[in-house]
Amino acid sequence: MGCLAVSKGRFLVVDDSMLMRTHIRGIVNRHFDAEVIELQNGSELFSYLENSDINGIALILLDINLPDINGMEIAKKLQFSDKYRPVPIIIISGSISQDTVLLSLKVGVKDVIVKPINEDDFINRIMKFIDVSKAPKKICREEKKAIHDFFDVIRIEMKKADRGKYPLTILLMGFVRGNTLDSPFTGLDCRENLELGSRFCACLKDSLRETDSIIGLSSLDYLAILPFTGEDGINTVKNKLRQASSDAEIKHLSLIVSSVTYSQQDESADVLINSLERKYKSLLVVKTLNLLSEQ
């Protein structure tokens, strides 16, 4: 399937899971010539909608379990509004009961998709509700064949670890400001933070082995896949990451690192990634509480 030009050019992905947002962005980018806007919660969504051209939004992909406002309540508010009702909404969640599905459809949600997402099914279902031009885009970065979804990369590495009977460790890394709870991408130092992130990535590649791989989720968030690294080697790797942060002279941004190790226990990639992100979120909560106590 080629990349199709979407006449309304923006997909809004509302999910507090950075990895799930990245996963959906990858799928959308492989199939559509459209911009993906990533939002973490209901407040960010409403703020974005209030300050944006509604006609430019093709679809809202909405997680039901958000930290501030339940996705169902968000859907109700949008569907009961004359301004926002024309924008199609699809609910996405890890577990949805039949009652939830019926209620979603009753309030005007177009469809309900259960995680983990199957790419072909996902595309077929959202195609029903977006306005797509008939002509495919002429150039689509060679169908983005060089860009792999990190879920697929992890699945491939897990199969290799199974065949080779060696451990595999996956790290999720991200930065938060050390002196404020604001996003690293707001304020006057936004450009500096982006430059620091780029510098950190270069130092990071120098500090890891040739067999290791790094996937950039954003300018300051990374996924590292480390074959032949078990639980006994994680502390060594984390020390290298801290050194890379020091070498990049990142002072006002604090590095958070979570890790999971796969040891041929028949875990699925989805289970492994969910475990990784739960650990990351827990570390982020602790860091946030520490920052609050210091202010």
| Domain boundaries along the sequence of the chain | 4-144, 150-294
Mean pLDDT of 213-223: 80
Q: Quick one: which of 248, 180, 193 has its CA closest to 221? A: 193
pLDDT band, very low/low/confident/very high, at 267 (cuts 50, 70, 90):
confident
Q: Which of 113-117, 199-203, 232-236, 258-262 has the lowest mean pLDDT?
A: 199-203
Q: Residue 227, exposed/middle/buried by CB under 10 A (0-12, 13-18, 19+)?
A: middle
Give backbone dihedrals phi and psi of 255, rounded to 5 degrees, phi first: -85, 130
**Strand order from edge to edge, sheet including 221-227:** 213-218, 221-227, 168-177, 253-262
Cα–Cα distance for residue pair 132/5, rounded to 1 Å = 6
Superfamily of domain 150-294: Reverse transcriptase/Diguanylate cyclase domain (3.30.70.270)
Average pLDDT over residues 177-194: 55
Q: What does the alpha-carbon distance between residue 137 and residue 148 come to, in Å, rounded to a whole number?
A: 20
Share of the chain above pLDDT 70, in %: 79
Instruction: Determine the Cα–Cα distance for residues 31 and 77; give it in Å rounded to an integer.
Output: 30
**Residue 283: count of CB within 10 angstroms of its CB:** 16
Q: How far is CA 152 from CA 86, 149, 156, 185, 269, in A?
A: 34, 5, 6, 28, 9
- What is the arithmetic mean of pLDDT over 170-199? 64
pLDDT value of position 138: 37
Is 36 a residue whose pLDDT tops 80? yes
pLDDT at 139: 36
CB-CB neighbours of 187 under 10 Å: 12
- Predicted local confidence at residue 177, as pLDDT: 66
Q: C-alpha 159: how far from its chain's center? A: 23
CA pseudo-torsion sign 140, 143, 147, 148: positive
At 49 the pLDDT is 93
pLDDT in tens, 111-163: 989 888 888 899 989 988 887 653 334 334 444 443 457 888 888 899 999 88
Q: What's the mean per-residue pLDDT of the chain?
A: 80
* Cα 4 from Cα 238, distance rounded (Å): 42
The residue-averaged pLDDT of 63-86 equals 90
pTM of the model: 0.72
Q: What is the CA radius of gyration of the chain?
A: 20
* Structural contact between residues 96 and 48, judged by C-beta atoms closer than 8 angstroms: no
What is the rounded average pLDDT of the residues 230-242?
Answer: 84
4-144 and 150-294, same CATH topology? no
Architecture of domain 4-144: 3-Layer(aba) Sandwich (3.40)
pLDDT digits over 77-118, tens only? 998 899 999 999 999 987 777 777 787 788 888 998 988 888
Strands (DSSP E) contained in 148-275 are 168-177, 213-218, 221-227, 253-262
The highest-confidence range among 13-17, 25-29, 67-71, 240-244, by mean pLDDT, is 13-17
